[in-house]
C-alpha cells in the first residue's frame, strides 16, 4: 500500500522535534516497517530534505526504513486557517506533482488536518488514483483557531465572538465530511463527530509508544512476548515528565509533595522562564528546598531512562484549563510511564480514564486536589506490592499500544474502507 502522511511538522536542526511530531513520525516509520511505502510531508526548514532526514533520525533514535521517504514543502495558509501544502490551486498543483515524482499515486492520504483533506478533495487532482482520505482527528481544529483569534481580539464583544466561533465550527463541519474515515484520539471526539453528523467509518486510535525495553535496550516486553517489568534502579521517589505548563497540574503536584515527609520530586520537561520561576517560588514557600529538582528538557531517546529513575510517575492533568488535553488527547506521557515499567498516578480526567483503570494499571485521583494526589502518592510509595501490580498492568496496556500495533490498526482501518467510490458518487458531487 502506498500512503501519503501529510503533517505540519517543522523539521529544524536548531529546534529539535516535539513529542507529537515524534509520535507521528514513529507511526509513519512503523507503517514502512510493515512493508508499505510511506511519503511523509513535512514543513520545509532550512537545510533541505537531507538535513531534515538527519534531524528525524536523531530525534527518533533509529534509521529511517527503506519504504519511508520525506518531502519538505512550504506550508501556507490564509490568516485564521491552518497552514497546509494545498492552500491555493497553484500550491496544490506544484506540491501534488512533486509528490508523484519518484513514486506512485497514493492509495490513501492520512492527515491530522481536516482542512488539508478538504483542499485535497476540492482539488480533484487525486481523482485518477481513487485514493482514500483519512482524518487522524486530534485536537479540534476549530478550537485551536478560535483560541488564536481570541488572543488577537481580546476586546471583542460577545456577539462577534459567537459569530466567529460559529463560522469556525461551520468550516470544520465541511472539512470533516471530506474524509472517507476518521481515526480519533479520544472518546470525546465521538460527541464532536455526532454533532458534525459524520456518518462514515470511525475508530479509536490512541497514542503509541516504542517497544518496552530496559535502559540497555534489552527487550522487557515485546509485542507478542510475556510482560515482564524491566530492571531499574531508582533515584527519586516521584517523577513528572512532560511540558511544564498550567494545564498539566504541576502546582497541584508540588503542593501534594509538600505534605509527604522527605519525599523527592524530579520534574523533567521544558518550561517558560516565568512559569518555572513561579513553581520554584511555590516550592520554596512550601519549604521543599532540594526535595524538588527541575531537570529541564531531555532528548526524546532519554525520556524512558529518566522515567525509570523514579519510583512512581505522575500525570496530574488539570480539569480547570487546557480543555484539549483533558478531553481530546490520548496522553503520550501516560503511555510512556507505563511502557517504562513505572507505576502511574494520574488525575481522573476523561483523556486519562479512557486508558486507565483505577487500581489495575494506575491510581486515579480527583484532579486539582493536592490532598487527593498526596494520599495516592502516600499509599503507592508505602506499598511495594501495589506498585508492582500497577507496573505490570501498565506494561500490559503499553504492549498493546506499541507503534507497530498502532500501524497495524491504521492498515486494518484503511483496508476495511473498501474500494473508493466511483465517479458521480455523493462525495464527488
Domains, the chain: 2-208+404-428 (3.40.50.2000), 212-401 (3.40.50.2000)
Which of the four pLDDT bands, split at 50, 70 and 90, describes residue 80? confident
Strands 37-43 and 363-365: unpaired
Cβ-contact 214, 220 below 8 angstroms: yes
Distance between CA atoms of 192 and 53, rounded to whole angstroms?
36
Residue 362 per-residue DSSP state: B
Cβ-contact 113, 145 below 8 angstroms: no
Which of the four pLDDT bands, split at 50, 70 and 90, describes residue 125? low
Count the Cβ atoms, other than its own, within 10 Å of residue 190. Answer: 13
Cβ-contact 308, 298 below 8 angstroms: no
Residue 72: the pLDDT is 85
Which of the four pLDDT bands, split at 50, 70 and 90, describes residue 230? low
pLDDT tens track for 128-146: 457 899 999 998 888 888 8
> How far is residue 166 from each of residues 61, 65, 159, 178, 213, measured CA to CA in Å?
43, 44, 11, 19, 47
| More confident: 425 or 236 | 236
Distance between CA atoms of 117 and 123, rounded to whole angstroms?
10
Cβ-contact 2, 37 below 8 angstroms: yes
Mean pLDDT (whole number) for 80-89: 86
Query: Grid coordinates representing 236?
Result: 527519586
Which of the four pLDDT bands, split at 50, 70 and 90, describes residue 419? low
Residues facing residue 41 across a β-bridge: 6, 71
Residues facing residue 134 across a β-bridge: 110, 181
Among candidates 384, 310, 322, 370, which has minimal Cα distance to 349? Answer: 322
Quickly count helices (H) and strands (E) in the chain: 16, 15
Count the Cβ atoms, other than its own, within 10 Å of residue 41. Answer: 25
Which 3 state secondary structure label does DSSP give 373?
helix
pLDDT tens track for 216-229: 445 544 444 445 55
Beta-carbon-side half-sphere exposure of residue 383 (alpha carbons within 13 Å): 15
Which 3 state secondary structure label does DSSP give 301?
helix
Alpha-carbon 242 to chain mean position: 12
pTM: 0.89
Q: At what angle do helices 19-33 and 48-60 cross, to 10 degrees?
A: 90
Beta-carbon-side half-sphere exposure of residue 399 (alpha carbons within 13 Å): 20
Distance, first Cα to last Cα, the chain = 27
The yes-or-no verdict on residue 182 having pLDDT over 60 is: yes
* Residue showing cell 503520550: 332
Cβ-contact 337, 355 below 8 angstroms: no
Residue 209 per-residue DSSP state: B
Residue 308: the pLDDT is 94
Count the Cβ atoms, other than its own, within 10 Å of residue 415. Answer: 12
Cβ-contact 186, 350 below 8 angstroms: yes
Which of the four pLDDT bands, split at 50, 70 and 90, describes residue 384? very high
Residues 6+ positions from 284 with CB-CB distance below 8 Å: none
119-122 CB contacts, 8 Å cutoff, 24+ apart = 119/84, 119/86, 119/87, 119/92, 120/86, 120/92, 120/178, 121/178, 121/427, 122/178
Amino acid at each position: 500500500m502506498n500512503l501519503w502522511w501529510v503533517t505540519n511538522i517543522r523539521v529544524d536542526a536548531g529546534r529539535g522535534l516535539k513529542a507529537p511530531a515524534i509520535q507521528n513520525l514513529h507511526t509513519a516509520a512503523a507503517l514502512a516497517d510493515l512493508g508499505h511505502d510511506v511519503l511523509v510531508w513535512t514543513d520545509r526548514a532550512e537545510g533541505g530534505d537531507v538535513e531534515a532526514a538527519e534531524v528525524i533520525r536523531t530525534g527518533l533514535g533509529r534509521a529511517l526504513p527503506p519504504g519511508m521517504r520525506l518531502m519538505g514543502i512550504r506550508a501556507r495558509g490564509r490568516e485564521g486557517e491552518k497552514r497546509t501544502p494545498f492552500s491555493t490551486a497553484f500550491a496544490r498543483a506544484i506540491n501534488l506533482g512533486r509528490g508523484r515524482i519518484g513514486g506512485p499515486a497514493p492509495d490513501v492520504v492520512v492527515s491530522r488536518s481536516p482542512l488539508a483533506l478538504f483542499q485535497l478533495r476540492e482539488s480533484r487532482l487525486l481523482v485518477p488514483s481513487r485514493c482514500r482520505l483519512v482524518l487522524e482527528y486530534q485536537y479540534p481544529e476549530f478550537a485551536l483557531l478560535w483560541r488564536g483569534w481570541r488572543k488577537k481580539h481580546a476586546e471583542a464583544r460577545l456577539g462577534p465572538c459567537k459569530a466567529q466561533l460559529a463560522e469556525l465550527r461551520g468550516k470544520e463541519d465541511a472539512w470533516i465530511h471530506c474524509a472517507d474515515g476518521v481515526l480519533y484520539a479520544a472518546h470525546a471526539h465521538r460527541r464532536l463527530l455526532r454533532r458534525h453528523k459524520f456518518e462514515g467509518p470511525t475508530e479509536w486510535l490512541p497514542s503509541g509508544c516504542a517497544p518496552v525495553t530496559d535502559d540497555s535496550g534489552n527487550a522487557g516486553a515485546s509485542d507478542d512476548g510475556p510482560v515482564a517489568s524491566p530492571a531499574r534502579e531508582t533515584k527519586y521517589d516521584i517523577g513528572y515528565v512532560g511540558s511544564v505548563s498550567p494545564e498539566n497540574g504541576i502546582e497541584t503536584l508540588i503542593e501534594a509533595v509538600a505534605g509527604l515527609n522527605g519525599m523527592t520530586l524530579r520534574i523533567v520537561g521544558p518550561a517558560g522562564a516565568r512559569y518555572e520561576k513561579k513553581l520554584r517560588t511555590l516550592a520554596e514557600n512550601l519549604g521543599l528546598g532540594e526535595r524538588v529538582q527541575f531537570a529541564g528538557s531531555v532528548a526524546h531517546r532519554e525520556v524512558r531512562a529518566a522515567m525509570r529513575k523514579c519510583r512512581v510517575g505522575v500525570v496530574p492533568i488539570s480539569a480547570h484549563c487546557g480543555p484539549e488535553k483533558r478531553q481530546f488527547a490520548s496522553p503520550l506521557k501516560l503511555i510512556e510511564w507505563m511502557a517504562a515499567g513505572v507505576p502511574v498516578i494520574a488525575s481522573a480526567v476523561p483523556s486519562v480514564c479512557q486508558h486507565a483503570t483505577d487500581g489495575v494499571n494506575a491510581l486515579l485521583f480527583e484532579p486539582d486536589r493536592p490532598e487527593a494526589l498526596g494520599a495516592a502518592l502516600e499509599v503507592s510509595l508505602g506499598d511495594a506490592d501495589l506498585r508492582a501490580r500497577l507496573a505490570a498492568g501498565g506494561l500490559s496496556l503499553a504492549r498493546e499500544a506499541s507503534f507497530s500495533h498502532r500501524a497495524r490498526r491504521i492498515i486494518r482501518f484503511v483496508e476495511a474502507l473498501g474500494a473508493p467510490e466511483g465517479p458521480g458518487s455523493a462525495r464527488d458531487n
